[in-house]
Amino acid sequence: MSEFICLNCGMIMVQRQCKVRCTRCGYFEDCSDGGNDHPNVVSSAAV
């Protein structure tokens, strides 16, 4: 089984319903997530 590591805090994420969720900070990902960028950055593609 694949192991997912939280992009935000580095903890192991666990699968819960259709998501993988970090048990430490609550960050989650699902099948619509494509990138590997941390969300709390000012996007380089942005204005």
Residue from 1, 2, 3, 32 touching another protein (CB under 8 A): that is 32
CA 38, CA 25: separation in Å to the nearest integer? 13
Residue 1 sits in the site that holds another protein (CB under 8 A): no
| Cβ-contact 8, 33 below 8 angstroms | no
Restricted to residues 2-31, the positions that interact with another protein (CB under 8 A) are: 6, 8-10, 16, 21-30
Residue 40 sits in the site that holds another protein (CB under 8 A): yes
Give the type of residue at 7.
L
CA 28, CA 39: separation in Å to the nearest integer? 11
Applying CB under 8 A, which residues contact another protein?
6, 8-10, 16, 21-30, 32-33, 38-40, 42-43, 45-47
